Structure 1
Amino acid sequence: MGEDYPSRKMDQFVVRLPDGMRDRIKAAAEANNRSMNSEVVAALEEKFPAPLAIPPDIVTLTQYLNLIDSAESDEERDQFLRVANESLARDPATSGFAIRLTTGPEGLPELHVARLKA
């Protein structure tokens, strides 16, 4: 009968509660107009949020920055920078970005990711 509900197929975990906690959960659930299960899940979500997924474009940009930073000469760095920007421009996920090389306050080269104007 109740086996047709999707929630029946979700992970289940039996928890032993200290004295009085069930009543506190029940009161909080009633105050928030939700079931006790939903109240417990909401508290767990707050304490243990899902890990953030890193968008593929951020991963790609990071890989290019690391590659450019690993260059052993100015010529190699310039070549990596050119290839990286050409690749970024071709990929729809990264076409709005470009990697720029600037000179920092101490005269050292710095890499920056710039969002291109539409």
Structure 2
Amino acid sequence: MNRKPVTQPQDKYVVRLPDGMRERLKAEAEKNKRSMNAEIVARLEATFHSIPEHMTPEAFNYVLDANYVNATKVAAILREALTRVEDLSVSAVRMEDIEDLPPKSDK
């Protein structure tokens, strides 16, 4: 007589997925060589941040918020720099500004 192994009870939760998401999850699961359930669990796990033992949850949230603010500031600076570079006309570039550049490598 074949018996199923006794497993630990697990929570089950029915989720309604937006159109197309099931197919995307299936494709990613196949690419990662795991079941759709394992793919969903792995993606959910990746969204949770583990708090280091030496930090309080409040301190950890402060660090996350500070990192977000810094990343937002860096993104704004890069957008501004890109806008300035795009606004430069080719005639505004002086030869002496580019003469000292190293030669382009052919990698």
TM-score (norm 1): 0.38
For CA contacts below 8 A with separation 6 or more, give which structure has more relative contact order: 1
TM-score normalized by structure 2? 0.42
Q: Which has the higher strand share?
A: 1
Q: Judging by fraction of residues, say which structure has more helix.
A: 2
